Copies of this chain bind each other. A is one copy, B any other.
Amino acid sequence: MHGPHKWRHRFRAHVSRWTVPREVILDLLSRTSKHISAKEIYASLYRMYPGIGLTTVYRTLDLLVRMGLINKRTFGDGPSRYEFKSEKKNEHHHHFLCTKCGRIIDYSDFIDEELELVKKTEETLAKKHNFKVLDHNIEFYGLCEKCQ
């Protein structure tokens, strides 16, 4: 098996084996900038690896989410979509969803303001309500340029 084995040791720590489907799926996700669905992953891999089943894609995605390597999101209807977690802070972005055509658009304005709000909210939720905040999601809905 070729390709980057940089995640191999993290699988060990999770009592998980380093297998071809896992390497290939993780590699695809790390090279993909957009959110992709399980079926899209399955389709992308089919030509090169026809042996990899959709079930394994789902199971691997679930594992990667638990390992904290990828994010899972459900944008309204449709299938869940997965995105590689970038370590780079400046790649942080939000989503705008066109309610007409379903397009998902990333943008990264007001990240600082958002981080400020998130920080405050997390502190308050922790103190006042005793919640442990681990993640958050902010998204906007409306009409994209084409659909207005």
A-side interface residues toward B, CB under 8 Å? 72, 74, 76-77, 94, 96, 98-99, 105, 107, 109-110, 113-114, 116-117, 120-122, 124-125, 128-145, 148
Contact = CB atoms under 8 A, between A and B. Distances in A.
A114 B113 CA distance: 9
Given A74-B74, A136-B141, 15 more contacts: A94-B121, A96-B125, A96-B129, A96-B133, A105-B129, A105-B131, A109-B125, A113-B116, A122-B140, A125-B142, A131-B144, A133-B142, A136-B140, A137-B137, A137-B140
How many protomers of this protein does the assembly include?
A: 2
Please indicate which of the listed interface residues A98, A133, A138 has the most CB atoms of chain B within 10 Å of its own CB.
Answer: A138
Contacts of A77: 74
Contacts of A105: 129, 131
A137 B141 contact: yes
B141 A139 contact: no
B139 A132 contact: no
Nearest to A95: B137
A109 B121 contact: yes
A141 B135 contact: yes
